[in-house]
Amino acid sequence: MLLVDSRNPQQTKSFTQALLEPSSPTGGLFSFQNVPNLDFQAYLHLDYTQLAQALFGVLSLDVAPAILQEALKRYEGFSDIAPLKHLSPTLYVQELLHGPTLAFKDMALQPFGILLSQLAQQRQEKYLILVATSGDTGPASLASFASLPNTYVICFYPASGTSLIQALQMQTMDAPNLKVFGIKGNFDDAQSTLKVLLKDTGFKAILQKQGFLLSVANSINIGRIVFQIIYHVWGYLELVRHHALHYGQPLNILVPSGNFGNALGAFYAKQMGLPIAKIGIVSNANNVLEEWIKTGVYDIRQRSLLKTYAPAMDILKSSNVERLLYALLGSQRTLECMQALEQEQIYTLQPQELQILQKHFESFSCDDESCLKSILETYQKYGYLVDPHTATALHAYQQLQTDLPCVVVSTASWSKFAQTTLLGLQGVASTDDRQALEILATQGITPPQRVKELLNRPKIHTEVLETASVASQIQVWLEKH
């Protein structure tokens, strides 16, 4: 299958080409031109790895079976793979947090790193992989690529925009092919810096002189998105296998949304025939997506990014919305909308276009007060502790007006957000996550062992940069490698 540029379908790449070199001269994103319609009932007997192999096959992705098999072995290091917790008659939580960095990003990034490294070795090429993170993509990318041949990773994160545990997961990573920079600014600044570098021909030329090609690990890379389709399919099939629903019965999915990659995976699964009634997009106070899905207006003119208790969702420009626009409205309309957003910071869907969008999606938001309340109520009602992002989706579940089964996508361990967890459970404000973990431990609430170990590791990466100096500092680091 050839992937097409969302803004110019004449620009095409194979899957492996787009994975290695995801940038496009138009600024668009390589996307599926179409996806096959499947009867997923035929996959009920498959385990998770077999399901992944089957979906790569039906999508006709040009990855050698041996390389894919090697990449999928990474799931053997997970403590569990996308299990479902049944909380009430129609409510299920899909836990995507059992990988090495305790966040859903591991589900895609663990195999992704092996794929990219193996392909680079085949081609005898070296890749510089850029990562901009709001908190979870960075640690997951670093954990995936650590010490992998032919790959070098530069990760930048908002220096004051992540939790302590997220920051430590990046700052303490010790591998010769990894470098981490904090930046002064928010995630949108980090992501904008990444996109500027991808389009900077001068920067690419300098890298080429040093023997590097340029790639990214963010979900603007279609290689990430493919792995995010799989767990949505798996979740539905698991419910059928456990007789929670019969095949063909629709369900709703609620996704705490930031850059829209997780939700896009669910959308592609729906397009391929998975019986999803609606995909619920949940925002925090930065509720651009809620407004867009309800009104058709994507407007960031008067908005400034708000810091919330769900920091991975603190985003105003959700990159993967572009792929959705392409799938629903085509390349010309996508180009018009993206240019309007870049130039005027607003675009508006036509009424018929909004109807198409709302056929697949509904939207909700959750402010900080409701987030804390959701953490407490979930713990009191079910004895189940969730992170603040998952809490926003559980808050949205209370607003659903349907009796259909619902899967809430759980995106991270509560232990990565201990201050917010403590505040939600006990109304106690702490000075930092370390103190919050200590207080929670006195109540019998203890984090996973890997979090305890993380608190005692030395920091290796402590630099904080202005965004304008990121490119030059990358070059300085690469000269040493």
Q: Looking at the domain assignment, is residue 430 inside a domain?
A: yes
Q: Looking at the domain assignment, is residue 463 inside a domain?
A: no
Least confident among 37-51, 160-174, 324-338: 160-174
In the three-class reduction of DSSP (H, G, I as helix; E, B as strand; rest coil), residue 310 is classed as coil
Q: Looking at the domain assignment, is residue 206 inside a domain?
A: no
Q: Looking at the domain assignment, is residue 409 inside a domain?
A: yes
The average pLDDT across 106-115 equals 98
Give the whole-angstrom CA distance, residue 136 versus residue 158: 12
pLDDT at 225: 97
Q: Looking at the domain assignment, is residue 53 inside a domain?
A: no
Q: Looking at the domain assignment, is residue 404 inside a domain?
A: yes
CATH of the domain at 87: 3.40.50.1100
pLDDT in tens, 246-290: 999 999 999 999 999 999 999 999 999 999 999 999 999 999 999
pLDDT in tens, 21-65: 998 989 999 999 999 999 999 999 999 999 999 999 999 999 999
Give the whole-angstrom CA distance, residue 441 versus residue 455: 14
Helix crossing, 418-426 with 368-382: angle to 10°? Answer: 70
pLDDT at 135: 86
pLDDT at 431: 82
How many residues are present in the chain? 481
Q: Looking at the domain assignment, is residue 50 inside a domain?
A: no
Give the whole-angstrom CA distance, residue 349 versus residue 357: 9
Q: What is the pairing mode between strands 84-88 and 151-158?
A: unpaired
Of residues 438, 395, 391, 444, the one with CA closest to residue 419: 438
pLDDT at 401: 84
Q: Looking at the domain assignment, is residue 257 inside a domain?
A: yes
pLDDT in tens, 70-101: 999 999 999 999 999 999 999 999 999 999 99
Number of domain units in the chain: 1
Please provide the distance, in angstroms rounded to a whole number, between the alpha carbons at the two ends of the chain. Answer: 36
pTM: 0.96
Domain range enclosing 80: 72-103+223-454
Q: What residues contact residue 273 under an 8 Å CB cut-off, 6+ apart?
A: 37, 38, 39, 40
